[in-house]
Structure 1
Amino acid sequence: MTDAANPVAGLEPSASLSVEKVLSVRHWNEHLFSFTITRPASFRFRSGEFVMIGLQGEKKPLLRAYSIASPAYAEELEFLSIKVPDGPLTSRLQKIQPGDDIYLGRKPTGTLVADALLPGRRLFLLSTGTGLAPFISIIRDPDIYDCFEQVVVVHSVRRVSDLAYREELESLLDGDPLVDEQAKAQLTYIPTVTREPFRTTGRIEKLMEDGTLFAGRVAEPHRFDPEHDRLMLCGSMAMIKETAEMLDKLGFTEGSNAKPGEYVIERAFVG
């Protein structure tokens, strides 16, 4: 039984769920936080995949799909979440503390993985809000820099304080034990803010149209090329829909684990 005074204590594992310990919690602002939990020795995943996590509900576990923000080799698992005051899960999840128990699904899956893309030269990771999470995993995986000559992370948010992992990304993962040198040579970070003053403003679609997406360190051409460019999209339904339609018109094809293509989205999140 769950302790009424501590709703995240006394969880019981099952065939599909393990029970892990919360290791750390980081509150980015009043509606965004990230946290790390223990990783079972048997838990294997590909950088960019998602898994079910959650807490105990009234009669059964209350679970939601979360992209894993840590790379596949990490000893702990990291997640990025919004805070929804009346959300069935996030209203409670945002209150977790180190030492609390949490459910972890035993079977990660997903299409935001390098395996679902054809070989290419440039990889664009386009995200809004917490859609950044799987890309934090991917850019800390050494294998991605062997697959692509350049990796471009684009993160669109409403407010400057919503730019989670901004310091790490602006430093190009300085000091990372495995990808420090590769990231400095091959990684580009483009943050953009839509509702506050910032050096880059506007939605991702605007950055495509005015060329901002291809400025600075980004190698030519200053347009998307289906022969050499590969893309992953994660975040708002509007961004994914508009960008996918644009890519389709340019001759890109959506990929999957069964049939790799030029771009991928996470179907589990967009329906």
Structure 2
Amino acid sequence: MTLHTRPPVLLPEHASFFTSGVRWVKHWNEHLFSFAIERPASFRFRSGEFVMIGLMGDTGKPLMRAYSIASPAWSDELEFLSIKVPDGPLTSKLQTIRADDQLYLGRKPTGTLVSDALLPGKRLFLLGTGTGLAPFLSVARDPEIYDRFAQVVMVHSVRRVSDLAYADELTAQLASDPLVQEQALLQFHYVPTVTREPFRTSGRIQALAEDGTLFRSPVLGPEDFDAEHDRIMLCGSMDMIRDFAALLEGKGFVEGSNAAPGHFVIERAFVG
């Protein structure tokens, strides 16, 4: 086998961004990949926030895009989950990165998919489609979340089975995670669902809520969303977020923010 190598891509320093080295890259399939970069010593964020990531563009200026951070706030690396868009201005370049390449990292993470934007509750539902899983990987690996909620239910909807990134780790209830493995074994529940291929659970998230699948054992509590006890984070397709937000508001849920915590949150920066 012939190995094709190239020198690492090194970026010029830029006053508005950190320059951070790539630690590893994992390609899940032809449409999806994960990568991690070094975390600058001064970079702080809350689990669930997003930040700008990018490369030098063809025009000689940084080409940046918002990415949710998939690693928890305590991690010494910053992990991301991305789709591959062949003609995408950034992702067409980003999907070719290798370990030791460099990326630009924004200096100011932000976002509303954080526990601070939610009122106290008993059950936390993390409802995501596609790469909307990313911020919930961060939240679910944060020890604080298990102190705030008795149960954490992560639901991930994708089109194909191979799109279920991190499925093995999540199915094992984060057993390899050093800080939350004991709590997650008792409190964390993972519900993957596939819409276009045969799988043990099929159907869109709203359909699983309507037929009760999301609330069956081992999930404890009422078999419906309850504004008194349930808190919900939504991330993914605009259609899913729009439809689910309307469903929740019809049940008396109030959208929260960093300034005014509520019953559910979405990331407004991504959905407009």
Cα distance between partner residues in 2 of 1:123 and 1:101: 36
Shift of 1:220: 1.6
Cα distance between partner residues in 2 of 1:139 and 1:241: 23
Secondary structure of 1:115's partner? helix
Cα distance between partner residues in 2 of 1:259 and 1:127: 23
Matched letter for residue 160 of structure 1? V
The question of whether the paired residues in 2 share the 8 Å contact of 1:120 and 1:148 is answered with: yes
Cα distance between partner residues in 2 of 1:131 and 1:125: 10
Cα distance between partner residues in 2 of 1:233 and 1:8: 37
String of CA shifts for 1:112-153, please: whole Å, max 9, x gaps. Answer: 000000000000000000000000001110000000000000
The runs of at least 4 aligned residues of structure 1 exceeding 6 Å deviation read: none
Map 1:84-123 → 2, pairs under 5 A: 84-123=85-124
Stretches of structure 1 that go unaligned for 5 or more consecutive residues are 1-5
Shift of 1:11: 1.5
Counterpart for residue 3 of structure 1: none
Counterpart for residue 56 of structure 1: 56
Cα distance between partner residues in 2 of 1:8 and 1:108: 26
The question of whether the paired residues in 1 share the 8 Å contact of 2:8 and 2:100 is answered with: no
Secondary structure of 2:132's partner? helix
Cα distance between partner residues in 1 of 2:60 and 2:12: 13
Map 1:1-271 → 2, pairs under 5 A: 9-57=9-57, 58-271=59-272
Shift of 1:175: 2.4
The question of whether the paired residues in 1 share the 8 Å contact of 2:9 and 2:100 is answered with: no
Matched letter for residue 37 of structure 1? I
Cα distance between partner residues in 2 of 1:227 and 1:160: 34
Matched letter for residue 14 of structure 2? S
**Mean Cα displacement is larger for which, 225-234 or 214-223?**
214-223
**Mean Cα displacement is larger for which, 210-219 or 259-268?**
210-219
- TM-score of the two chains, using structure 1 as the length reference: 0.96
Secondary structure of 2:207's partner? helix
The question of whether the paired residues in 2 share the 8 Å contact of 1:128 and 1:156 is answered with: yes
Cα distance between partner residues in 2 of 1:244 and 1:253: 9
Matched letter for residue 121 of structure 1? K
Cα distance between partner residues in 1 of 2:87 and 2:270: 20
Cα distance between partner residues in 1 of 2:138 and 2:48: 6
Aligned length: 266
Cα distance between partner residues in 2 of 1:160 and 1:124: 22
Cα distance between partner residues in 2 of 1:174 and 1:20: 29
Stretches of structure 2 that go unaligned for 5 or more consecutive residues are 1-5
Cα distance between partner residues in 2 of 1:77 and 1:148: 25
RMSD: 1.1
Aligned identity (percent) is: 70
Counterpart for residue 3 of structure 2: none
Shift of 1:176: 1.2
